[in-house]
Every structure is written in C-alpha cells, then in structure tokens.
Amino acid sequence: MSDFNDQDELGARRRNKLKLLQFDKDGKDLIESEKPNETFADVGGLDDVKKKIRMNFILPLKQPELFAAYGKEAGGSLLLYGPPGCGKTFLARAVAGEINANFMHIELQAILGMYVGQSENNLHDIFEKAREHKPCVIFIDELDAMGGSRNQMRQHHDRILVNQLLMELDGLRSANDEVFVIGATNTPWYLDSALRRPGRFNHMIFVPPPAEPERSTILELKLANKPVEKLDLTRIARETKHFSGADLEQIVKDAIEVALERTLETGDIQPITQDDLRKAAKHRKATTLDWFATAKNYATFSDVNQDFQIVLDHMKEHGMK
C-alpha cells in the first residue's frame, strides 16, 4: 500500500482530534471535555515516561499528604515530544483515564486561526472551565504552532496568545492544583523559550518509538480480543525496527483486512495469521526515521543546552545513523 494511506490516516487522526473542540459563531460553548477510558495499561511500553508522569502527576493526587510534606501539590505541566505516532496524544488521554479526570484537547491551530482577541479569550475560558471541572487534564497539541516564524501580523497575534498561555500557566502554580497541562510537539526546538521556564513546560519528556519487546506488547494490545491463530509476535517485533505504535497499529489493521476478506469468501470467521502480519509488516515502512534525521540536525548543531542529547543517545543505542 502507498504512503498516501498513511497520510490519510494521519489526517483522519487530526480531524478526529478537532471534533473535541468546537467553536460556535460567538465563540461560546467552545469546549467539550470528556472522560477517557484509556489507562496506562493500554499504552504499551514507555515505562520511564509513565514513571515520570506517576511521580509528577498521579501520586501527588493519590497521596497528597506525602507530597505536601515536601511542599508539592498535585497539578503542573509537562511537555511530551518525539516522532509522530509514538503515543503522545494517546498517553495524555491515558493520564486523564488513570486519575479519572476530565480531558480537554486543545488544538492550537484551531485557536490560532481565530480573530485576534477571540483566541486569547478562548484560551482563558478553557483554563477557567478546567478549574471548574477538576481534576482535569488540558492537553495542548502542536504547541510549536505558536510563535513559529510567520509574517509580522501573525507574529504579533501569536505573541499575544503565547503571553496569554504564559499567564494561564503561571496562574496554575497558585490556583489550579489538580489542573494538569500536558503539551505535545514534534518540533520542540521551535518552541518559544519563554514557555520553557520553570513552572511552565520545564519538564520535557522524550517519547521514543517502542523498542523490540515493547513492539510485541503493542501488537498484542492491538490484537486483543480479535480472532487469531497461534502467533509469534516477537518475530514480527524483530522485523519492525523503528516502527511507531501507530505504524504497528496499521499493520494490525492491514492484517485484519486480509483475514476479513478470507472470512467473507469462506463464510466463517478466519483467524488472523502470522503470515498476514508478516506480509503487512513487509509492505509498510517505519515512519519515525525522517523525524530522527531532523532532530539529529538540531541536537548536533543548535542545541546549546543539550536538551536533545537524549535523542542522540537513543539513536546511538538503536543503531541509527
């Protein structure tokens, strides 16, 4: 199958996300929150990332007295970054699921497209609403959309919105305990440096593609409750180096399609076979490699604070050039 399908898939995912935030003509009733069912158990691997999130977000909420002794309250913000399809959005939803919190998904592109004035108000409304509905996770996707290089007018507009976001994040430290802000970006090096100061998005967490055993786990998760023959998933995992979680999900979808075709031909349920998965994997490519090529450039040539050393380490460890 061609790469166009991957693009469609990506587009569909993006459109799907947009559904959550709805703007009417007057800019009222703009926020839809939901309670995700996903938990960390649905996220394959990423143990280090989960641990960091547990320490910062989840345990302070579950055992406030322990953390209060150190002057730490529940609440705060962190930034997830990494190649596409490796679980940033999925993980953010799972955080909300873990703590049984409301989840608000902000697509910055949508807010940036609004009139000057309207966008700041909307951003403020979102944070207000989150305070009314705590515990609440506010997920700000495509954070890099803010403050990127654009024409002067746009830059001015973005600046105002960045300032508004900074104000909301600063307010978070005083008033919004139990409001969690998770930002996500594929291009952390473009992020406005003011957003990276202490108390804002100063926890940057790299969300890497799954390693081999994690790929097995993800395949297993995606195949759960489906009709399958006896499968050797470690083998598929071995043959899918650098594949993202989304790539693996796609392989499972491709294999399901083939099994379904067989089922329709024969009239009884045909299990998904090792061969279906193997062929599907062969026809797909890892979609994370372009990201690493770009990241390597930044990490090598313009990373004065060595923020992205971890990306270089990952590349070395997994034999990427």
Ligand X SMILES: Nc1ncnc2c1ncn2[C@@H]1O[C@H](COP(=O)(O)OP(=O)(O)OP(=O)(O)O)[C@@H](O)[C@H]1O
CB of 194 to Mg ion, least distance (A): 23
Question: DSSP label at 100?
Answer: T
Q: Cβ of 58: how many Cβ atoms within 10 Å?
A: 17
Q: Does 130 bind ligand X (CB under 6 A)?
A: no
Give the interface segment with ligand X, choosing from 43-51, 101-109, 153-161, 259-267 (CB under 6 A): 43-51
Query: Rounded to 5 degrees, what are φ and ψ at 287?
Result: -100, 15
Interacting positions 62-121 with Mg ion (CB under 5 A): 88-89
Q: Does 209 bind ligand X (CB under 6 A)?
A: no
Q: Does 249 bind ligand X (CB under 6 A)?
A: yes
Nearer to Mg ion by C-beta: 246 or 259? 246
Give the interface segment with ligand X, choosing from 84-92, 164-172, 195-203, 275-283 (CB under 6 A): 84-92
Residue 245 interacting partner from ligand X, Mg ion, none (CB closer than 5 to 8 Å by kind): ligand X
Burial of 285 (0-12, 13-18, 19+ CB in 10 A): middle
Q: In what order do the strands lie in the sheet with 33-34?
A: 33-34, 102-107, 136-141, 179-185, 76-81, 204-206
3 state DSSP class of 253: helix
Nearest to 58 by CA among 40, 43, 70: 40
CB of 233 to Mg ion, least distance (A): 25
In the complex, which residue's CB is closest to ligand X? Answer: 245
Q: Does 246 bind ligand X (CB under 6 A)?
A: yes
Q: Does 143 bind ligand X (CB under 6 A)?
A: no
Q: Does 218 bind ligand X (CB under 6 A)?
A: yes
Which single residue is written with the structure tokens 């997830």? 80
Q: How far is it, in rounded angstroms, from Cα 172 to Cα 74?
A: 11
Residue 75 interacting partner from ligand X, Mg ion, none (CB closer than 5 to 8 Å by kind): none
Residue 21 interacting partner from ligand X, Mg ion, none (CB closer than 5 to 8 Å by kind): none
Nearer to ligand X by C-beta: 13 or 282? 13
Burial of 261 (0-12, 13-18, 19+ CB in 10 A): exposed
User: Dihedral of the CA atoms 78, 84, 87, 92 (nearest 10)?
Assistant: 40
Q: Does 287 bind Mg ion (CB under 5 A)?
A: no
Residues making contact with Mg ion (CB under 5 A)? 88-89
The contact set with ligand X (CB under 6 A) reads 13, 43-46, 84-90, 186, 210, 218, 221, 245-246, 249
